[in-house]
Structure 1
Amino acid sequence: MNTQQPYNLLVILGPTASGKTGLGVALARQHQGEILSADSRQVYRGMNLGSGKDLDEYGEVPYHLIDLVEPGHDYSLFHYQRDFFASYQHICQRQQLPIMVGGTGLYIDAITQNYALHEVAINHPLREQLAELTLEQLQTKLLELKSNQHNHTDLLVRPRLVRAIEIAMAEQQPQPAPEYPAINPLILGVQWPRSELRARITARLKERFNQGMLEEVESLHTQGVSYERLEFFGLEYRLVARHLKGELSYNDMFQKLNSQIHQFAKRQDTWFRKMQRRGDTIHWLNAHGDLLEQANELLSHCRWADSK
């Protein structure tokens, strides 16, 4: 990050259930901002409770990159980067403050590191070949193509494995990537003690089930989203689908899901530490203090592009 240049994107990151959305919305209200979601599942319509959209928090604050496509639609990191910069440029043209909020580290990096990405179409002949391989054989093939896997779920769920192999093979034939504006982000992180974050995750999961998350997944399947496709979305959608198929009792499903979300939060923290090792500055906010006050104190000392 070039600190000599004015900042042109505010990033609010943190693990799941950390309260980053509420902070992002509060800052947007105070600073004429608009939210850009950085969540890999919130782009899908109908996936509300399972992806933690928390749309009721936004109120009058404009938001982007949520509810873009149907769950059966293939939406890649390439599409996210393309759609992000389209929204970003419109926000800047309106002289509003772009605020990226989310916990999907890969999506954040794709923007702040300006990944050179290409659109990868479905390769039907390749998929026919891969259909004959076992899960273990697919895992081996992907790791041979790309040993450094950023997404652990890609190794566990067959549809994700197939798509990851498809993309990895296409990347062996590089093409010119679109050119996007350089991003100089101010990154704020919401940090909780691990024991407290675990309690927040469990409480939030219980609340989601009380609000109807099981019924949400059941409705998606009734509307034509296959169980295999639900597996693709991981975590809540994968395990609730297995419960609906009769493979897990409700209690087993809840316990496994709770444990896996805790593990997911650890992987998010690992990604954020990797960002810091790379040289990114993350200003961690103390969750026991006033998050908005801490954030505003940092913003008051920063120079922003277009006088933001």
Structure 2
Amino acid sequence: MPQTPLIAVVGPTASGKTGLSLELARRLRGEIINADSMQLYRGMNIGTAKVTPEEASGIPHHMINLLDVSEEASVADYQAQARAVIADIRRRGSTPILVGGSGLYVRAALDVIEFPPTDPQLRAQIHDQLEQEGPARLRKELRRQDPETAATIKDDRRLVRALEVIRLTGRTFTSFMPQRVYEPSLTPVVQLGLRVDRAVLHERIASRVEHMRTSGLLEEVRALDAAGLRSSKTAAAAIGYRQFLDVLDGLKEEPEAVEDTIVATRRFARRQETWFRADPRITWLPAPDAQLAEHAMEAIRAQAG
């Protein structure tokens, strides 16, 4: 018996992915799997535009609120957990709907991608070496063994991780990265991308950030700061959160943090568009559109047979 196709809804932030996914879930007896890396964190609600219980209207959501803000997100862990969720949804006869704009997380759930292993003890040894000797010697080692990765790394955290992989596996960090040659998905998938006019997307981003401000983003950041937000390089670097931490520290006024968040979100949206447009398997739908759900259903029927 053929498997139920997985529906993936992707695209830049503020393009309308949440609204479309909820409508598709209602029509297809679907359950939603989050593919936004920051929505894995508990308490990061306003700044990630996480769906509210009222918006979800009883539609099951998976892969959200799994981590404390002091923890580090792992795409390898996400891959294993998301695939287990997808398999469970199918076993129950429902339609899995993957939704998000974190490109690597989407591909981790769908595609043949191998992630390098980790060794906390080895990583700690490299950290000690970094603190004792400084980064110059480690960077020289990386340039000798993996010049491609060395050319792109700008921070010590990624430097340590790249060397951990080399020393642990004997392979370059680059060799584990997803290539622009798209291997067949592990499961039957219909990928839908939302394409929004640049000017319209900028307006939607500005409106979203302002709504976050008026909804209490500063107080959310204050509460998360007390819960250990700064101890996680992943969560503390999230757009909006790092700008509003500057407000708490007296480095910025709130209007400046809002503007900086808008600018950073626009840049992020451009990177998302670049990532997803490179995937030829995605069917692009113009948005916003009053008939968006109908067009999505037509694309699903056409591809799913």
TM range (shorter): 0.7 to 0.9
Structure 2-normalised TM-score? Answer: 0.82
Quickly say closer, same or farther: Cα 1:251–1:167, change in 2 above 3 A. Answer: farther
Instruction: Work out whether 1:292 is the aligned partner of 2:293.
Output: yes
1:218-297 paired onto structure 2 within 5 Å: 218-226=222-230, 229=233, 232-276=236-280, 280-297=281-298
In the alignment, the residues of structure 2 paired with residue 284 and residue 49 of structure 1 have an alpha-carbon distance, to the nearest angstrom, of 27
Pair 1:136–1:259, CA change in 2 (3 A) = farther
- The amino acid across from 2:89 in the alignment is I
What residue is the counterpart of 1:128 in the other structure? 128
C-alpha change, 1:196 and 1:244, in structure 2 (3 Å) is same
Q: How does 1:68-83 map to 2 (within 5 A)?
A: 68-83=66-81
C-alpha distance 228-106 of structure 1, shift in aligned 2 (>3 A): closer
Contact 1:285 1:294 in 2 (8 A): no
Per-residue CA distance 1:174-201 (angstroms, 9 max, x = gap): 9xx9xxx922311111111000000000
Local SS of the residue matching 1:49: coil
- Aligned residue for 1:50, secondary structure, equals coil
1:113 counterpart residue number:
111
- Cα drift, residue 231 of structure 1: 6.6
Q: Percent identity?
A: 31
CA change 1:233–1:141 in 2 (3 A) is farther
- In structure 2, distance between residues paired with 1:10 and 1:27: 9
| Mapping of residues 116-265 of structure 1, within 5 Å | 116-122=114-120, 123-131=123-131, 145=146, 147=148, 155=154, 159=157, 162-163=160-161, 166-167=164-165, 170=168, 172=170, 182-226=186-230, 229=233, 232-265=236-269
Q: CA separation of 1:171/1:221 partners in 2, compared to 1, >3 Å: closer, same or farther?
A: farther
Structure 2 vs 1, CA of residues 63 and 138 (structure 1 numbering), >3 Å: closer, same or farther? farther
CA distance in 1, matches of 2:243, 2:137: 24
Give the deviation of 1:97 after TM superposition.
0.5
| Structure having the larger proportion of residues in helix | 2
Unmatched tracts of structure 1, length 5 or more: none
1:237-296 deviations in Å (ceiling 9; x for gaps): 2221122122223233222221111000000001012223xxx23333442342111111
Shift of the alpha carbon at 1:133?
7.2
Conservation of the 8 A alpha-carbon contact between 2:195 and 2:284 = no
Following superposition, the deviation at residue 46 of structure 1 comes to 1.1
Q: Displacement, 1:230? A: 6.7
Q: Give the count of matched residue pairs.
A: 288
| Secondary structure class of the residue paired with 1:300 | helix
- Closer, same or farther: CA 112–133 of 1 in aligned 2, 3 Å: farther
Residue identity opposite 1:195 in structure 2:
A
Structure 2: runs of 5 or more not aligned? 177-184
TM-score (normalizing by structure 1): 0.82
Structure 2 distance, partners of 1:164, 1:55, is 38
Q: CA deviation at 1:219?
A: 0.5
Conserved? CA contact 1:79–1:119, under 8 Å: no
Flag the 1:289–1:252 CA change in 2: closer, same or farther, 3 A: same
Is contact 1:230-1:237 (8 Å) kept? Answer: no
* SS of aligned partner of 2:37: coil
Give, in whole Å, the separation in 1 of the partners of 2:191 and 2:147. 29
- CA distance in structure 2 between the partners assigned to 1:255 and 1:137 by the alignment: 39
Q: CA deviation at 1:19?
A: 0.8
Whole-angstrom CA distance in 2 between matches of 1:35 and 1:302: 20
Name the SS for the 1:189 alignment partner: strand
- Larger CA deviation: 245-254 vs 207-216: 245-254
Measured in 2, the distance between the counterparts of 1:251 and 1:63 equals: 33
Alignment match, 2:45? 48
**CA separation in 1, counterparts of 2:215 and 2:269?**
22
Tell me the SS of whatever aligns to 1:301: helix
Q: In structure 2, how many angstroms separate the alpha carbons of the residues matched to 1:290 and 1:63?
A: 24
